[in-house]
Structure 1
Amino acid sequence: MLIALTGLVLLALIAATSYVVWTVRRSFPQVDGTLSVPGLTTRVEVVRDKWGVPQIYADNALDLFRAQGYVHAQDRFWEMDVRRHVTAGRLSEMFGPSTLKVDKLIRTMGWRKIAEQELERIDPETRRYLQAYAEGVNAYLDEREGAELGLEYTLLAMENGDYRPEPWTPADSLSWLKAMAWDLRANVTQEIDRALLTEKLSVDQIEQLYPPYPYGRHQPILSRGDVRGKRFDPEAPAPLRLPVGVRKQLAELSRELAKIPPLLGPNGTGIGSNSWVVSGALTTTGKPLLANDPHLAPKLPSIWYQMGLHCRKITGQCPFDVAGFTFSGVPGVIIGHNDKIAWGFTNLGADVSDLFLEKVRGDTYEYKGRQVSLEINQEIIKVAGQDDVLLTVRATKHGPLISDVSEEFRKAGAGAPLPESMREPRREYAVALSWTALKPSRTADAIFKLNTARNWTEFRAAAKLFAVPAQNMIYADTQGNIGYQMPGYLPLRNSGDGRWPVPGWVDSYEWKAAPVPFDQLPYALNPKEGYLVTANNAVIPPGYPYLITEDWDYGYRSQRITELLHQRLKENGNKVDAQALRDIQLDNRNPNAELLTPYLLRLRVDPFTREAQELLRHWDYTQPPESAAAAYFNAVWRQTLLLTFGDQMPKEVQPDGGDRWFEVVRGIIDEPDNPWWDDVRTPRRETRDDILRKAMRKARYELTRKLTKDPENWHWGRLHKMWLLNDTLGNSDDWLVKKLLNRGPYEVGGGESLVNATGWDAAKGYTTDWVPSMRMVVDLGNLDASTWINLTGASGHAYHGNYVDQAELWTRGEQLPWPFSEQAVRQAAENTLVLEPGPPLEGAVPG
């Protein structure tokens, strides 16, 4: 009897397992053989390597983008579907009331409406490409439903069985560009933070926490250049040059600036990235090398999708021969190279948004002494399993009132300081958002013109259309040229520096009708240094006539990259190769540790703490995952910040430990009695050494609890872990769902504001919050010798072989060969899928 029962249980387990495996595999795409695709007019080939990376070959551009849409949907449709619901403020249709707050914010900003307006403004050719792409996605959707599209749809059906994906539209693709602009929105977070800090700090104290960019120690991207005759002259001497080694003068300048109250107030840290390009005069191949690694939050799947798009014959009607990193849901290649040029991006961090404080009364707001009617619209948000929600969206001439739907912005409105003449006791202000991404632009046109650019002139013409998000763009070509271009919609303000919210009831802070002209934006072609480095550092020395931002990254990464380039050049006969650039991308040296460690080693501490202190004695300041010293130093750094600054700051705005804090601590480290060192929660007045000693002791006990008692067995990677989480269902409370969709943890090295930028927030812990989302090195001497790596893998399907097959390689710092020529692609091929023309589509774009 027992044997029979055991057999039944075993059969049940086998059946259940088989069902799960069958369900999971139903969504795996066909990658070999032949498929008929409605809408195609010619035969298309999709050639995949062992990593599942597709290279598409077509006879005309429209079929090329139809195939791209089809292939994106094969591997990543769940991701695409979620993204378009995010950008349209419709997540609650899928996930119910838990996402209602996000939907309200997005609807209030109106991303989808802006995308629909852009669709009417872009080039007709771009519209055709977007339409063809949508046709390819929909051809795939017409074949499948439910679990056939992805495991996530099976899981979603358990909660929302009524959900069915809609057909894809061109506006769905354009909307995603708004989401990227929001992620890279520059200093709006800092603007908010400054206003929130007024709850506990004076304006003078707040200014001390935002020191000026250290031009004397960290060089900007361009060392020269100025606007001459209404055009930017890259050879003009900089209007103001600060000599190297002026730290004391800069510190004094910071203190003087802190005495000047800003006109208003809030802000935050933008997402970083590294990119640099080296002239052929300094490389072993005699041709340029270009490196890029954008820093974004770790997600599963990765935000990037590697792909090649190739016209079998390059003509005016089919001009594409391009490969690189794409966004699933958006046609074209975002970062990469074609057969003539290569390009990369880093976030510029430009101040392209302002918060306007508004005096709202009823359905009106005050402007220039009179009451003006608010613009009011009603939005209906559908919520799975519940009644629809009616949202009232209000806007002033400056933009939507985001304080209506965001507690953070509401607090910013209450806390922002105003000039004395404008203060009204106990007044709370509504907050409107002015942001360049809320104005229709032609960024979509820029993508396709960038993909087909053949030289520097055509590259700049494409960059001119790249409005949002404002970025740094680096360039190299097979002719040996290298360059830099700052593109983007850069607002011109009547007054103010964009650092604090401004009063909206006067016209003093208005944006002018037109932005900074493109011809007056900084650029450089073939600089005499022979290289260009961008890592969110300042673009140009002080004196440039327009405000780019006052909230740069502080240049620790860019300066380290520059130093490493010089070092490699000196060691190798003034030449570098592609491996040198890959090595630099993995640099783990912590410049903050170089500053602080000598002070920590001077302190006398108790014997238990001394065991940990000794780890720092002969440390080289690098942070590989196995480093015990790195684990202890970062724990000490975290405790130092919380003890020194956290005691005086509101809970919403605690020190995150980034390079701004490197600079803040640098400014007070030689002042042992500076008031910041005092812990205001204790009756005695602490000094620098008191705080550092306490931080060392607390860090010793913290790591003993988290890791082990023996400091020699501490590992930075065990503390600093990276999780790859499915963006939506991966946050479920159901452990089985998490197990099915998420991966990790991975022990990683690097750290906050290092070249190998695996960022973490000191206020929250050590978990990795953002990473190099991909890495690439392009060799313009031999494009087939280029290399790349994605954070996860090509597939968005859990348990597919390409779901996370690049993650371990990424963690180890490896890169994969990047075949580009058809010969190299065919040699690396593992699978070939032929897409044959199917029945014509009604209303399809002709071509």
Structure 2
Amino acid sequence: MPAIKTGPSGKKKGRRARLLVIAVVLLLVAGFGYGTYWSVSTVRASFPETTGSLKLKGLSGPVEVKRDGHGIPQIYADFDEDLFRAQGFVQAQDRFWEMDVRRHMTAGRLSEMFGEEQVESDAFLRTLGWHRVAKQEYDTKLSARTKKYLRAYSEGVNAYLKDHEGSALSVEYAALGLSNDYTPEKWTPVDSVAWLKAMAWDLRGNMQEEIDRSLMSSRLTPQQIEDLYPDYPYDRNRPIVGAGSVSGATKTFDPKGTATRSQSGADADADTAAGVAAQGTRTQLSSLSKTLEDIPALLGPNGNGIGSNSWVVSGKHTATGKPLLANDPHLAPQMPSLWYQMGLHCRSVSESCRFDVAGYTFSGMPGVVIGHNQDIAWGFTNLGADVSDLYLEKVTSDTYLSDDKQVPFTTRKETIKVADGSPREITVRSTGNGPIVSDRNGELSKVGRQAPVGDAAPDRGSGYAVSLRWTGLAPSKSMDAVLGLNAASDWTSFRKAARDLAVPSQNLVYADTQGNIGYQAPGLIPVRGKGDGRHPADGRYPAPGWDSRYKWTGYVPQSALPWEFNPSRGYIVTANQAVIDQSTYPYLLTEDWGYGARSQRITDLIQSKIKDGGKISTDDMQTMQLDNSSEIAELLTPYLLKIDVKDPYVREAQKLLEGWDYTQDADSAAAAYFNAVWRNTLKLAFGNKLPKELRVEGQCLRVRPADDSGPLEDLDGNARTVRECGERAPDEAQPDGGDRWYEVIRSILRDEDNDWWKTSGTVRNPGDRSRDELLAHAMSDARWELTAKLGKDADTWSWGRLHQLTLKNQTLGTDGPGMVQHLLNRGPWNLGGGEAAVNASGWNAAGGYDVIWVPSMRMIVNLGDLDKSRWINLTGASGHAYNDHYSDQTDKWAKGELLPWAFSGRKVEDATSDTLALTP
């Protein structure tokens, strides 16, 4: 569920009053103060019925819902529509509050639930039009069979809603009902389809990198910007597909073909590319970056750092003689987890009942997203294709420039209903490139004041407007793909289903019970024009929207996307690294891959295990998922140990690194110190040199470019103090510490006098003049930082005390009063792992050490015996805060444990604790 964020300060009073009312109710419901008997009965009223018998309108036959000791349901039916009708009913039992908040977010209707503080977010989401596109998909793109399943799912949800309201639906509704008159409306098929738009948005690729590179041009030279975005290290970190070519005649990829030089995606001319992007855009792009940050992130922090691991090993290398497949998507930690474990079983698989599948679902959407059926297993990681472009637009109040013509905007009106408030009407303007996203931010009223260059634009001062082109705004058949994967029985039917997965573009790994393994890259990926001959159209910088040479000319043919089937090496690894060597592939997929630290570590672990004929077991796969090794620690630590540290206090900390094996266990003092040194190294070498213009300070802006001490203004232009503005969020362009920064450091590490090692100083402190001086400075700063955080005795430090995970309920758990957060949230847990480790408990070096993305689930599928597969969820099956299954898997997840994953009818029956009969 999204975090419900607070709007400008003028709106806070109404929100605080509403939160106070909700908080009082929740405190009573939890049994605090008086009314304990009423409280317990109110809480339990929303718990699902898991035994006995219930009538479910619309069923064609009887359905059984069998839940194991962790509340995970397995549904059995004779007709596929009954399966999905029951799935909707059961997910509403456990997770309807989550589902309801999510559909309001995807439709830009959060204000109907939470009031005027959500108007700005709603306006931006209405501008994107996720729900409108989802409706177009449902009306014009999806197959009749998929629409039948979506309707059945909706009927199941609505059957539950018919008999449940207020506290019987969820305790949050009891509280919300006292702050406004909100009542949930019926679920629709479009509500389910729209969820795929939210998923695609958070996995949209390099939009933030486009903005960051453009903003950097205010402080850095073109070459310095290129230094911070190194080329992918193909010679060291293996891409997913090592070879192959595309036929020029048939546009078909051949994994065994001989590659030729890329025909597109030429190297960028950094100087001219930065110049185009910089003209009159810095204020707009800073403001857009802040807007993107404020849009609720369902999957991760604004799409940055989101990764995943998946790999599959052929039976010739496994102890079972059949493939093993592992997957652990790295997403934002949420309470409850984004995932919902479930099985959907036809008692007899036939044309009228096609499914025998289990795995991880999204509450609010039919089918299984990641998992296995009786024949095949599949996993996802984010491919990271560049599927979005920002365009600068020369506009008047009514038109935009397209080549040499002024073209009228396409416009539409949107009315935003507001709980306890007056409706707001907005006008959405769109160009041929997409909606004008810069219209949706009050900060852009200052554009004319600061934009130095550009043709006159009456409603933009002297600056440009910014539009967005994104594949997610094109209607597609992605919902067909999800259900097609569920029913696939072999490699051919798997690939056929994958072709419909337009957004988000994902790496799909495959295995089947016959012993085959494979990989397919699907997705709607744009082909760009050639640019104007000086500035390449490569998606790395915002492009001139008035020049048709920068427009998209089509999409990469699905037949041309890379794939592999039973490669001779006997395994396939995907962890957000490059899909294929971009210099030998004829289509530009992206210039912003992950840099392959995790993928290469997994590859090395597999190779070390299978050398000399060794075999990999399910236990080995589980151990690999928990690997904490730090590549940057192995690279940098020898340099840190060579520094002659004079200060005995800092030397005490330096000694922690002696003999360290570079693993980041939760109890490791060395890992704590190294990561603090790493964070301070990045800050000194890069952070203080990157743009600080328009720094966001809570609800205010820094208005003096590149001056961190400049004045602050609120959104209405009034002068403010830091205290009035609240805490400052980390600047997006600041070093986050991920594996891109590993490559940046690697490229300069042997150059002791590289300019990046030099820092500015004062008369009393001349600054650092070399690598070793800066590293010594970082070691000292880290020593004092950890002394303040963890105490004077370095031997008592531990990485887990710094690196903590707190699971937050994504509504009141983030913005509610402290006591309510205590009731709804769980944690903290001290975690091992780290950024770009296989056990990717991610943290952002620009903001601190807290865990901000995690392996949101882990699974290992044993294709030799599906009943010997294993899985775990981050939280639990239930979304009800006081239910036994709210967080009953988290302790095991934190320890790296997995649960048995029963699949066959006999094993499911053995594991069943509760059975609910649903009857027509």
After TM superposition, the score normalised by the length of structure 2 is: 0.85
User: Which residue, 738, 745, 748 being the options, matches 1:668?
Assistant: 748
Write the letter of the residue equivalent to 1:677.
W
For 2:412 and 2:259, locate their aligned partners in 1 and report how far apart those are by CA, in whole Å: 48
User: Which residue, 233, 241, 250 being the options, matches 1:222?
Assistant: 241
For 2:572 and 2:611, locate their aligned partners in 1 and report how far apart those are by CA, in whole Å: 17
Does 2:576 correspond to 1:536? yes
Does 2:91 correspond to 1:72? yes
| SS across alignment from 2:528 | coil
How far off its partner does 1:412 sit? 11
Partner of 1:792: 875
Counterpart contact for 1:556–1:591, Cα < 8 Å: yes
How far off its partner does 1:671 sit? 1.4
Write the letter of the residue equivalent to 1:394.
R
How far off its partner does 1:462 sit? 0.1
How far off its partner does 1:204 sit? 2.1
Partner of 1:185: 204
Partner of 2:391: 356
Write the letter of the residue equivalent to 2:737.
G
Does 2:901 correspond to 1:818? yes
Write the letter of the residue equivalent to 1:818.
W
Partner of 2:46: 27
Write the letter of the residue equivalent to 1:831.
D
Partner of 1:840: none
For 2:775 and 2:90, locate their aligned partners in 1 and report how far apart those are by CA, in whole Å: 55
User: Which residue, 606, 611, 636 being the options, matches 2:677?
Assistant: 636
Partner of 2:564: 524
| SS across alignment from 2:357 | strand
Deviations 1:431-455 (A, max 9, x none): 1000000000000011111100010
Structure 1 segment 543-562 matched on structure 2, within 5 A = 543-562=584-603
Deviations 1:365-399 (A, max 9, x none): 11111111011211111111221111121110100
Write the letter of the residue equivalent to 1:234.
P
Counterpart contact for 1:279–1:482, Cα < 8 Å: yes
For 2:448 and 2:78, locate their aligned partners in 1 and report how far apart those are by CA, in whole Å: 56
Partner of 1:152: 172
How far off its partner does 1:680 sit? 2.9
Structure 1 segment 318-467 matched on structure 2, within 5 A = 318-406=353-441, 427-467=462-502
For 2:832 and 2:448, locate their aligned partners in 1 and report how far apart those are by CA, in whole Å: 40
Write the letter of the residue equivalent to 1:140.
Y
Counterpart contact for 1:96–1:383, Cα < 8 Å: yes
User: Which residue, 571, 586, 594 being the options, matches 2:634?
Assistant: 594
Write the letter of the residue equivalent to 1:280.
G
Counterpart contact for 1:195–1:412, Cα < 8 Å: no
For 1:826 and 1:675, locate their aligned partners in 2 and report how far apart those are by CA, in whole Å: 66
Partner of 1:281: 316
Does 2:143 correspond to 1:123? yes
Structure 1 segment 591-630 matched on structure 2, within 5 A = 591-605=631-645, 606-630=647-671
User: Which residue, 217, 236, 254 being the options, matches 2:257?
Assistant: 236
Deviations 1:509-558 (A, max 9, x none): 1111x311111110010001100000000011231000000000000000
Deviations 1:468-491 (A, max 9, x none): 000000000011110000000011
For 1:471 and 1:43, locate their aligned partners in 2 and report how far apart those are by CA, in whole Å: 37
Does 2:215 correspond to 1:174? no
Does 2:124 correspond to 1:105? yes
Partner of 1:841: none
Counterpart contact for 1:264–1:419, Cα < 8 Å: no
Counterpart contact for 1:413–1:429, Cα < 8 Å: no
How far off its partner does 1:409 sit? 9.1
For 1:63 and 1:454, locate their aligned partners in 2 and report how far apart those are by CA, in whole Å: 21
Write the letter of the residue equivalent to 1:518.
Q
> Residue 182 and residue 416 in structure 1: after superposition, are their counterparts in 2 closer, same or farther (change >3 A)?
farther
Partner of 1:135: 155
For 1:780 and 1:118, locate their aligned partners in 2 and report how far apart those are by CA, in whole Å: 35
Partner of 2:724: none
Structure 1 segment 47-58 matched on structure 2, within 5 A = 47-58=66-77
Partner of 1:770: 853
Structure 1 segment 28-47 matched on structure 2, within 5 A = 28-47=47-66
> Residue 356 and residue 48 in structure 1: after superposition, are their counterparts in 2 closer, same or farther (change >3 A)?
same
How far off its partner does 1:664 sit? 0.7
Partner of 1:245: none
Partner of 1:658: 738
After TM superposition, the score normalised by the length of structure 1 is: 0.92
Partner of 2:350: 315
For 2:490 and 2:573, locate their aligned partners in 1 and report how far apart those are by CA, in whole Å: 20
Aligned-residue RMSD, C-alpha: 2.3
| SS across alignment from 1:48 | strand
User: Which residue, 306, 313, 327 being the options, matches 1:271?
Assistant: 306
> Residue 415 and residue 52 in structure 1: after superposition, are their counterparts in 2 closer, same or farther (change >3 A)?
farther
Counterpart contact for 1:345–1:474, Cα < 8 Å: yes
For 1:412 and 1:459, locate their aligned partners in 2 and report how far apart those are by CA, in whole Å: 50
Write the letter of the residue equivalent to 1:600.
L
Counterpart contact for 1:403–1:410, Cα < 8 Å: no
How far off its partner does 1:149 sit? 1.1
For 2:514 and 2:856, locate their aligned partners in 1 and report how far apart those are by CA, in whole Å: 29
Deviations 1:61-111 (A, max 9, x none): 111100000000000000000000000000111111222221111101000
Deviations 1:317-359 (A, max 9, x none): 1110000000000000000000000000000000001001100
Partner of 1:6: none
> Residue 602 and residue 521 in structure 1: after superposition, are their counterparts in 2 closer, same or farther (change >3 A)?
same
For 2:513 and 2:71, locate their aligned partners in 1 and report how far apart those are by CA, in whole Å: 28
For 1:375 and 1:270, locate their aligned partners in 2 and report how far apart those are by CA, in whole Å: 35
Counterpart contact for 1:655–1:763, Cα < 8 Å: yes
Partner of 1:247: none
| SS across alignment from 1:508 | helix
Write the letter of the residue equivalent to 1:821.
S
> Residue 579 and residue 237 in structure 1: after superposition, are their counterparts in 2 closer, same or farther (change >3 A)?
farther
Deviations 1:729-765 (A, max 9, x none): 1112412221221111111110001100011011110
For 1:801 and 1:189, locate their aligned partners in 2 and report how far apart those are by CA, in whole Å: 40
> Residue 325 and residue 281 in structure 1: after superposition, are their counterparts in 2 closer, same or farther (change >3 A)?
same
In structure 1, the gaps of 5 or more residues are: 1-11, 242-253, 838-847
| SS across alignment from 1:141 | helix
How far off its partner does 1:402 sit? 0.6
Counterpart contact for 1:721–1:766, Cα < 8 Å: yes
Write the letter of the residue equivalent to 1:145.
E
Partner of 2:721: none
> Residue 164 and residue 151 in structure 1: after superposition, are their counterparts in 2 closer, same or farther (change >3 A)?
same
Write the letter of the residue equivalent to 1:372.
V
Counterpart contact for 1:263–1:502, Cα < 8 Å: no
Counterpart contact for 1:760–1:768, Cα < 8 Å: yes
For 2:322 and 2:454, locate their aligned partners in 1 and report how far apart those are by CA, in whole Å: 55
Counterpart contact for 2:342–2:359, Cα < 8 Å: yes
Counterpart contact for 1:502–1:509, Cα < 8 Å: yes
Counterpart contact for 1:31–1:832, Cα < 8 Å: yes
Count of aligned pairs: 807
Structure 1 segment 286-301 matched on structure 2, within 5 A = 286-301=321-336
How far off its partner does 1:410 sit? 9.5
> Residue 15 and residue 218 in structure 1: after superposition, are their counterparts in 2 closer, same or farther (change >3 A)?
same
Write the letter of the residue equivalent to 2:391.
F
For 1:293 and 1:555, locate their aligned partners in 2 and report how far apart those are by CA, in whole Å: 16
For 1:397 and 1:218, locate their aligned partners in 2 and report how far apart those are by CA, in whole Å: 39
Instruction: Report percent identity of matched pairs.
Output: 57
In structure 2, the gaps of 5 or more residues are: 1-30, 278-284, 290-302, 531-536, 693-730
